[in-house]
Chains A and B, each alone.
Chain A
Amino acid sequence: MSGRPVRRGMGGLLILLVSACDQGPMTNQPKYETFEPAPRWPHNQSARVPVAGTVARGEAIDPRVPETLPMPLTRELLERGQALFNIYCSPCHGRDGAGAGMIVQRGFPAPPTLHSDRLRQASLRHFYDVISHGYGVMYAYADRVARSDRWAIAAYIEALQLSQYARVDDLTAEQRARLEGGSSGQAGEGAQQ
């Protein structure tokens, strides 16, 4: 009879339909994805807190922090520092470092300007330490900013400080010609200080 194959076909379709809805063992495998809850572990967490003193892979084992920039000062380093400063620091310190970032405008205690005499005298190591341990009401950023990145930010802060005190004499002849032509407002403001 030719009804049989049709019914079989329908049966097959039903199985397909049911399996299309299957949230079976392959969809949710008995393994922990990152941060998946793990019942019976402390706080139901599968992610464990590393024991104190753990050194991340690729980080220096030596706990001593160098006194100054441990890597060559390059354009890439400054650009990395700039990107990270804009992500992690500018919400409070502002992109220019003057201390009027968006979060401060919403009521966070204002940080000091990074362009004060004291902070212009400060060493790169001081900035590194502030990022690592926090300062006053400012929290530490050690859990989010890797060591080499802390140096990149420190170097960028110094570049930012220099930018506020640039003089006309620091410019190349070509830049000066452009400035005197009056085309670049920002450089003009910096140079007048």
Chain B
Amino acid sequence: MPQIFPRRANSLVSAMLWGGLVGGVALVIVAITLGSSAHTTGVNSTPEQPVPFSHGHHVGGLGIDCRYCHTSVEQSDFAGLPPTSTCMTCHSQLWTSAAMLAPVRQSLQHDKPIAWVRVHDLPDFTYFSHRAHVNNGVGCESCHGRVDRMPITTQQKPLTMQWCLACHRHPEPYLRPENRITALGYDPAGDGIPGHELREHYGIRKDNLTECVTCHR
């Protein structure tokens, strides 16, 4: 019977074996780096908004507190976005003919809400609650960064499970006193009351914070 495979097939097979192995490892590395890259997690994503609203001007420049606009952040899972009438508490008198604000005026006139584009969006299979965080010493800045320096709102943190867990395992260096939750530029680890005292003050129990069911329910 004639040989089906020529002799060199032997080396071909071993080349394929090794190639497959190396290729596989490379694939895994590519998958992991892609998976945690800014492109996939959405860090720095800055969607275009219907009105170029600037936290830089309103928060950094004018010093308006987050809760003036994100009213429900302490009472609800959802932080809340301001209705048009909230913009109008000031813009009924200020910048009343600015072209930039035309969509706001039209929204009021036609009673049609402004369709803001989401900047942060967790997958629907996760549960997140603002109330649980901002009433337990976690400030906006820890998760949203320096919004007072953003001309257009940007996602600054990766919002991955790894990122959530890093704090849930060891929240102490991030905790602030009640009156500093919306403050920006406050350094919880350096400026204030030591983290373990605040953890006791808020009665935070770390054991259930890493249970799957805390965030997947």
Residues of A that sit less than 8 Å from B by CB: 2-3, 6-7, 9-10, 13-14, 16-17, 20, 26-29, 31, 33-35, 37, 43-45, 83, 86-88, 91, 102-103, 106-109, 137-139, 143-144
Q: Would B88 and A3 count as touching, CB distance under 8 A?
A: no
B86 close to chain A: CB less than 8 A:
yes
Complex Cα spacing A16 to B71, Å: 42
- Decide: B35 and A108 in contact? CB cutoff 8 A: no
Query: Is B113's CB under 8 angstroms from A144's CB?
Result: no
Contact of A43 among B27, B65, B86, B113 (CB under 8 A): B113
Indicate if B201 sits at the interface (CB-CB under 8 A): no
Is A7's CB under 8 angstroms from B20's CB? yes
From A27, A44, A87, A138, contact of B123 by CB (8 A): A27
Cβ-neighbour of B113 out of A45, A86, A108, A109 (below 8 A): A45
- B24 cross-chain contacts in A, Cβ below 8 A: 6, 9-10, 13
B66 to chain A: closest residue by CB = A87
A139 touches B21 (CB 8 A): no
The interface size bin for chain B is: 35 or more
- Of B89-97, B143-151, B161-169, B191-199, the stretch lying at the interface with chain A is B89-97
Question: Which of chain B's residues have a CB closer than 8 A to the CB of A9?
Answer: 20, 24
Question: Can you pick out 14 interface pairs between chain A and chain B where the beta carbons lie within 8 Å of each other?
Answer: A3-B13, A6-B17, A13-B24, A13-B28, A20-B34, A34-B77, A34-B78, A43-B112, A87-B65, A87-B68, A102-B63, A103-B94, A107-B94, A139-B92
Check B23 for interface membership: any CB of A closer than 8 A: yes
Given contacts A6-B21, A10-B23, A109-B93, contact A27 B35 (CB under 8 A): no
A113 to chain B, nearest CB (A): 19
Q: Given contacts A6-B20, A17-B27, are A88 and B93 in contact (CB under 8 A)?
A: no
Query: In the bound complex, do residue A29 and residue B93 qualify as a contact, i.e. CB atoms below 8 Å apart?
Result: no
Q: Which residues of B contact A17 (CB under 8 A)?
A: 27, 31
Closest chain A residue to B16 by CB distance?
A3
A108 touches B93 (CB 8 A): yes
> Which residues of the partner chain B approach A16 to less than 8 Å between Cβ atoms?
31
Residues of B contacting A86 in the complex (Cβ-Cβ under 8 angstroms): 65
For B65, list chain A residues within 8 Å (CB): 86-87
Closest chain-B Cβ to A175's Cβ sits at a distance in Å of: 23
Instruction: Chain A residues near B113: list those with CB within 8 A.
Output: 43, 45
Nearest residue, chain A, Cβ from B71: A144
B85 interface residue (CB < 8 Å to A): yes
Give, as a whole number of angstroms, the nearest-CB distance from A104 to chain B.
10
Smallest CB separation, A44 vs chain B (Å): 8
Quick one: closest A residue to B91, CB to CB?
Answer: A108
- Which residues does chain A contribute within 8 Å of B21, judged by CB atoms? 6
Smallest distance from the beta carbon of B84 to chain A beta carbons, Å? 11
Bound complex: CA of A14 vs CA of B24, how far in Å? 9
Contact B85 A106 (CB under 8 A): no
Q: How far is the CB of A134 from chain B (nearest CB, A)?
A: 9
Complex CA gap A6/B63 in Å reads: 61
CB of B67 closer than 8 Å to a CB of A: yes
A11 to chain B, nearest CB (A): 10
B124 CB contact (under 8 Å) in A6, A31, A45:
A31
